[in-house]
């Protein structure tokens, strides 16, 4: 379960960075339902909701810590009281400050997977972080670390040199089917390929049409440069909607919902994939978790989807 959305609103100079208002009680019920249905990997970041996502997750799993795997990220600095994301800090000195704060917000004494959240840090500079990360592993504050990056050379560097590097998180979904370079790095070094945006920021749930417009305060309507799935007006990209329609029949085979098919496609692509679909409600979680029962698409279905989306 991806926990960006349950962090609620926060912002930076470019505008909103969250997914709008959120109900913390519903978020807690959603996390509890996830555990009931066999979902035990929760991915968050310190900056989500300017610390709020970590706090909600920590409260929700209190007394159940041994049942969950918590992944969080560091690198983007923020003001918790104003919910303002200030900027990045990729220094080795900041890692200890950030991990201490995350442990407090999560209410735990260890983090299972600690991930660098700034995707374009220079390889040489990122190498300077490995020493302190290995120290944190030795101290028991983290069990493993990884990098959230869409740049193959960054993934390669930590996969090769990071003794306790266990995962690379990258943007990967049906609509981005051709992005295989980082997956190949993960397979080569035995890393988990954590799939950010496996439902294409909601497009692969099937509830968005060309006439849909996300609300104010939603990052999908912020117009930031990296937002390609939605336009500056908050409406879905026609190109991506067309891709989804092209593969809808395959993804919904076997009684799957569109979201379940999108997750099944990722599992069919590789045994290394770990999709982290976000959600804010129990109903959304139950739809996503239903993919577990349906399982992966077949190899033939994976190939057919890739042919249709131009992968």
At residue 311 the predicted structure's pLDDT band, cuts being 50, 70 and 90, is low
**CATH entry, 5-309, from 3.20.20.100, 3.40.50.620, 3.10.20.30, 3.40.50.720:** 3.20.20.100
On the question of pLDDT at 223 being above 90, the answer is no
**What pLDDT is recorded for position 216?**
79
Q: What is the pLDDT of residues 22-73, one digit of tens each?
A: 999 999 999 999 999 999 999 999 999 999 999 999 999 999 999 999 999 9
**What pLDDT is recorded for position 222?**
87
Looking at the annotation, which residues are catalytic? 48
Torsion, Cα of 22, 68, 263, 10 (10° steps): 30
Q: What is the pLDDT of residues 300-309, one digit of tens each?
A: 999 999 999 8
On the question of pLDDT at 178 being above 70, the answer is no
3-state class (DSSP) for residue 107: coil
Q: What is the pLDDT of residues 184-199, one digit of tens each?
A: 999 999 999 999 999 9
At residue 215 the predicted structure's pLDDT band, cuts being 50, 70 and 90, is confident
- Yes or no: say if 282 and 294 are a contact pair by the CB < 8 Å rule: no
Does 269 or 179 have the greater pLDDT score? Answer: 269
Nearest to 4 by CA among 110, 64, 76, 94: 76
On the question of pLDDT at 142 being above 60, the answer is yes
Does 34 or 231 have the greater pLDDT score? Answer: 34
Kindly state the average pLDDT of the residues 92-116: 98
Burial class of residue 181, CB neighbours in 10 A (0-12, 13-18, 19+): middle
d(C-alpha 291, C-alpha 212), whole Å = 25
**What pLDDT is recorded for position 177?**
67
d(C-alpha 3, C-alpha 54), whole Å = 8
């Amino acid at each position: 379960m991806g926990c960006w959305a349950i962090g609620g609103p926060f912002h930076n100079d470019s505008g909103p960075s969250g997914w709008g208002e959120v109900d913390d009680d519903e978020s807690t019920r959603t996390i509890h339902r996830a555990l009931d249905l066999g979902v035990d990997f929760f991915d968050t970041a310190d900056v989500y909701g300017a610390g709020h996502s970590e706090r909600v997750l920590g409260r929700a799993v209190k007394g159940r810590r041994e049942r969950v795997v918590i992944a969080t990220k560091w690198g983007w600095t923020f003001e918790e009281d104003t919910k303002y994301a200030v900027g990045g800090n990729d220094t080795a000195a900041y890692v200890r400050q950030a991990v201490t704060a995350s442990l407090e917000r999560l209410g735990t004494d260890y983090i299972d997977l600690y991930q660098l959240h700034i995707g374009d840090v220079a390889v040489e500079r990122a190498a300077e972080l490995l020493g302190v990360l290995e120290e944190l592993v030795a101290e028991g504050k983290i069990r493993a670390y990884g990098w959230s990056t869409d740049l193959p050379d960054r993934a390669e560097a930590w996969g090769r040199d990071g003794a306790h590097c266990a995962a690379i998180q990258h943007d990967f979904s049906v609509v981005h089917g051709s992005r295989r370079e980082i997956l190949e790095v993960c397979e080569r070094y035995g890393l988990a390929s954590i799939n950010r945006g496996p439902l294409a920021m909601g497009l692969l749930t099937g509830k968005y049409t060309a006439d849909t417009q996300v609300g104010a305060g939603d990052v999908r309507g912020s117009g930031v440069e990296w937002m390609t799935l939605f336009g500056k007006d908050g409406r879905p990209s026609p190109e991506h909607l067309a891709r989804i329609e092209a593969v809808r029949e395959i993804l919904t085979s076997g009684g799957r919902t569109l979201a379940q098919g999108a997750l099944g496609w990722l599992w069919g692509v590789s045994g290394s994939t770990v999709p982290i679909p976000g959600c804010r409600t129990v109903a959304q979680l139950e739809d996503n978790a239903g993919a577990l029962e349906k399982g992966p698409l077949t190899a033939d279905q994976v190939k057919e989807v890739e042919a249709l989306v131009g992968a």
